């Protein structure tokens, strides 16, 4: 679908000449009355620092996003999720919030945000913002007050405990990012809890004042027109109030990396507690009053799709991300183990599917790199976008963008820097998008050093180089999303598997639509009754005019969408 956009609305502060790529006019989205806007939607994650730099300082910002909204609408996106843009010391690049009701100057102003919302809504795009409720910054006034005055009411907004009898941390809990999850405040002699960096103290959600404060924060952004919230660490807010030791899954030998300690524990007390649902019952009531969606980051143990899906439902979240797909190998065994239970758990669309994210290697890199990795990534995207649930692309996925090697001297991710372990780092999947082959790759101004290196991009790897080329990754993704939208009626249909493990072809039927992907290294034949059938979409674009009666051959690393040939 050709979706023209409005002329780019450039801020007077902009120092960059962004290319409009030929978009003009308004975009309108038509939905059935009474249907939630997120039903049959496709989302797009924007990691703000690396999406588009509107003021020419080398860091992406709100102005840059606004200038690219026309591109996203034309791509076929329904909703954008923007990573944190709040006031922050940037110890974890925005996931350490110092003011939940304001914009960090690096990203713009509240006026910039309001304008972004206005333009997005005019283009038919919904805006989801990242909310970080498990922890705040150690520079937030709440924590500074708690730190300076142990008798302050704010002290109970966090988890403070006396040392263990040996003077060490109160329990054996470990940080997700490596090392213990407790830091000693020498002035008071107590430890405070942080499941992530020491600069990210965990909030105490047993305190009713914390709960009331966050309801007010959500209301603040809903009043500004926000359409939903992606909830960071949605599974971690409630803790076992006794804070007991975690069971040890396996003993450490001493040779492991800093993050191995976290993986050596069974996290039955520090996350995934039943008490979290009481919090989300309150959030759901507020969100529903604004027609806003709650989307949880539920990063629990692998293979537990049913538990992830349980976070979504009446009185809970609307959708919950299932992250197993970002860790599968390109093999039938791995994909079946992920998607058979995942699809069953998402029988009512509860699950959010992420092709890639800012925390994990990009799909083309995970699946072998180069053209092979890109073909597999596109086929993988077909699978995720056609399953019941809410799929999300990660910025650059539509380009087949791979991870960019980052020299240790250019590391920004605190996990890699503090653990002194490049394999822990997330910088390679966070590098800026190449919009064109101009100096600054269309991301920032000529001569400006970006916050992370670009890497070496050929014109064919940029947005400019791929636009209009029917064989490019961008145009094939655009066609996929258009087909998905055209087949929107399938959203309410039950999924029926047509193949089973250990077959190399994963194929399923939803209503009258069949989706198949071949993850083997040889061509495979798929037999389907009820023909004749037409190829509605193929990752090999030259196949879209094919039709057959009962049997079709699927090439290795290929995905197909089939419909009755009426």
| Model pLDDT for residues 63-80, shown as the tens digit of each residue | 999 999 999 999 999 999
- Residue 416 is predicted with a pLDDT of 83
Phi/psi of residue 146, nearest 5 degrees: -60, -35
State the residue range of the domain holding 245: 134-204+239-272
For residue 333, give Cα distances in angstroms to 93, 161, 414, 483, 506.
Answer: 36, 45, 35, 28, 10
The pLDDT of residue 24 is above 90: no
Please name the residues in contact with 240: beta carbons below 8 A apart, sequence gap of 6 or more: 268, 269, 270, 273
The upper half-sphere exposure of residue 45, i.e. CA atoms within 13 Å in the direction of its Cβ, equals 25
What's phi and psi for 448, nearest 5 deg? -90, 135
Provide the token pair at 360: 């994990």
**Taking Cα atoms as reference points, which of 476, 460, 444, 455 lies closest to residue 403?**
455
| Angle of the 473-486 helix axis to the 62-75 helix axis, nearest 10 | 60
pLDDT tens, 384-394? 999 999 999 99
Report the alpha-carbon distance of residue 83 to residue 199 in Å, rounded: 18
Q: What backbone torsions phi and psi does residue 374 show, to the nearest 5 degrees? A: -70, -40
User: Given a cut of 70, is residue 86 above it in pLDDT?
Assistant: yes
pLDDT in tens, 343-397: 999 988 999 999 999 999 999 999 999 999 999 999 999 999 999 999 999 999 9
CA atoms within 13 A on the CB side of 314: 0
Number of compact structural domains in the chain: 2
DSSP letters for 132-179: --SB--TTSHHHHHHHH-TTSGGGGGB-EEPPPTTSS-SS--B-TTSS
Model confidence at 20: pLDDT above 70: no
Q: Whole-model pTM? A: 0.92
Going by DSSP bridges, is the β-strand pair 559-564/513-518 parallel, antiparallel, or unpaired?
A: antiparallel
- Is residue 522 assigned to a domain? yes
CA gap 98, 142 in Å, rounded: 9
**CA atoms lying within 13 Å on the CB side of residue 244:** 7
The tokens for 5 are 């956009």
Alpha carbons 324 and 304: distance in angstroms, whole number: 9
Reported as a single tens digit per residue, the pLDDT across 152-208 is 999 999 999 999 999 999 999 999 988 899 999 999 999 999 999 999 999 999 999
Point out the residues that are catalytic.
232, 297
Q: How confident is the model at residue 22 (pLDDT cuts 50, 70, 90)?
A: very low
**419 in helix, strand or coil?**
helix
User: By the 8 A CB rule, do 159 and 202 touch?
Assistant: yes
* CATH code of the domain covering residue 190: 3.90.400.10
Identify the domain boundary among 217, 249, 272.
272
pLDDT of 414: 87
pLDDT band for position 300 (cuts 50, 70, 90): confident
| Boundary-marking domain end, from 226, 253, 272 | 272
Q: Decide if 405 is inside a domain.
A: no
In a domain, 159, yes or no: yes
Q: What is the pLDDT of residue 306?
A: 94
User: 208-223 and 276-289 are packed helices; what angle lies between their axes, rounded to 10 degrees?
Assistant: 30
Per cent of the chain over pLDDT 70 is: 92
List C-alpha distances in Å: 233 to 130, 313, 436, 502. Answer: 11, 18, 35, 34
Residue 431 belongs to a domain = no
Q: pLDDT-based confidence at 9, cuts 50/70/90?
A: very low
Euclidean distance between CA atoms 52 and 62, whole angstroms = 8
C-alpha separations of 352 from 36, 127, 381, 383 in Å:
15, 16, 13, 13
pLDDT 10s digits, 220-265: 999 999 999 999 999 999 999 999 999 999 888 777 766 678 889 9
The domain boundary residue, chosen from 231, 251, 272: 272
pLDDT band at 425 (very low <50, low <70, confident <90, very high): confident
Identify whether 196 is part of a domain: yes
Round to whole Å and give the CA distance between 75 and 482: 8
Residue 513, domain CATH: 2.60.40.1180
Give the 3-state secondary structure of residue 95.
coil
Whether the CB-CB separation of 24 and 5 falls below 8 Å is answered with yes
Q: How confident is the model at residue 34 (pLDDT cuts 50, 70, 90)?
A: low
What pLDDT digit, counting tens, does each position of 532-544 carry?
999 999 998 788 8
User: What is the reported pLDDT for 8?
Assistant: 26
CA distances from 95 to 100, 130, 294 (A): 11, 9, 18
166 part of a folded domain: yes
Residue 246 belongs to a domain: yes
Count Cβ atoms below 10 Å from residue 553 Cβ, excluding itself.
11
Task: Decide if 557 is inside a domain.
Answer: yes
Residue 416: helix, strand or coil by DSSP? Answer: helix
Closest CA to 58 of 357, 401, 412: 412
Q: What pLDDT is recorded for position 10?
A: 28
Element (H, E) at 350: none
* Model pLDDT, residue 15: 35
Rounded CA-CA distance 287/218 in Å is 8
Residue 184 phi/psi, 5-degree rounding, is -80, 130
Task: Measure CA of the first residue to CA of the last residue in the chain; give whole Å.
Answer: 22
Of 5-9, 31-35, 332-336, highest mean pLDDT: 332-336
């Amino acid at each position: 679908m050709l979706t023209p956009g409005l002329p780019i609305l450039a801020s007077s502060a902009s120092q960059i000449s962004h290319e409009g790529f030929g978009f003009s006019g308004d975009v309108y989205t038509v939905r059935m009355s009474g249907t939630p806007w997120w039903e049959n939607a496709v989302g797009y994650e924007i990691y703000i620092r690396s999406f588009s730099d509107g003021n020419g300082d080398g860091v992406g910002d709100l102005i840059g996003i606004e200038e690219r909204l026309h591109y996203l609408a034309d791509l076929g996106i329904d909703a954008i999720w923007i990573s944190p843009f709040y006031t922050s010391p940037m110890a974890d690049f925005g996931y350490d919030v110092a003011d939940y009701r304001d914009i960090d100057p690096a990203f713009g102003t509240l006026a910039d945000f309001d304008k972004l919302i206005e333009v997005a809504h005019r283009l038919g795009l919904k805006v989801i913002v990242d909310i970080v409720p498990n922890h705040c910054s150690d520079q937030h006034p709440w924590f500074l007050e708690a730190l300076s005055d142990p008798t302050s009411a704010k002290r109970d907004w966090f988890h403070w405990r006396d040392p263990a009898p040996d003077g060490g941390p109160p329990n054996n809990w470990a940080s997700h990012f490596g090392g213990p999850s407790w830091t000693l405040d020498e002035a008071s002699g107590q430890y405070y809890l942080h499941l992530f960096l020491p600069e990210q103290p965990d909030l105490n959600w047993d305190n009713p004042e914390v709960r009331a404060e966050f309801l007010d924060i959500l209301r603040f952004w809903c009043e500004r027109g926000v359409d939903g919230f992606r909830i960071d660490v949605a599974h971690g807010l409630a803790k076992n109030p006794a804070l007991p030791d975690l069971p040890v899954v396996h003993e450490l030998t001493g040779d492991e990396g800093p993050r191995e300690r976290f993986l050596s524990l069974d996290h039955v007390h520090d996350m995934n507690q039943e008490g979290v649902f009481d919090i989300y019952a309150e959030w759901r009531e507020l969100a529903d009053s604004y027609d806003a969606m709650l989307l949880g980051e539920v990063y629990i143990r692998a293979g537990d799709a049913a538990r992830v899906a349980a976070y979504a439902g009446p009185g809970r979240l609307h959708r919950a991300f299932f992250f197993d797909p970002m860790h599968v190998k390109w093999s039938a065994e791995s994909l079946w183990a992920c998607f058979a239970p995942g699809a069953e758990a998402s029988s009512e669309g509860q699950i959010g599917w992420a092709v890639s994210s800012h925390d994990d290697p990009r799909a083309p890199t995970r699946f072998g790199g180069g053209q092979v990795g890109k073909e597999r990534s596109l086929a993988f995207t077909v699978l995720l976008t056609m399953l019941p649930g809410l799929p999300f692309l990660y910025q650059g996925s539509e380009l087949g963008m791979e991870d960019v090697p980052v020299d240790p001297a250019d590391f920004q991710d605190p996990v890699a820097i503090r653990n002194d372990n490049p394999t822990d780092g997330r910088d390679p999947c966070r590098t800026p998008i190449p919009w064109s082959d101009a100096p600054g790759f269309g991301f920032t101004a000529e001569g400006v050093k970006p916050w992370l290196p670009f890497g070496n991009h050929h014109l064919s790897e940029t947005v400019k180089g791929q636009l209009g080329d029917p064989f490019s990754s961008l145009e094939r993704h655009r066609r996929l999303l258009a087909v998905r939208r055209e087949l929107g009626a399938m959203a309410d249909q039950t999924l029926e598997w047509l193949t089973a493990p250990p077959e190399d072809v994963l194929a399923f039927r939803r209503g009258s639509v069949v989706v198949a992907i071949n993850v083997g290294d040889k061509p495979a034949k798929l037999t389907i009754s009820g023909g004749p059938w037409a190829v509605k979409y193929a990752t090999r674009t030259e196949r879209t005019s094919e039709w057959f009666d009962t049997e079709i051959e699927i090439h290795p690393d290929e995905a197909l969408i089939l419909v009755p040939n009426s």
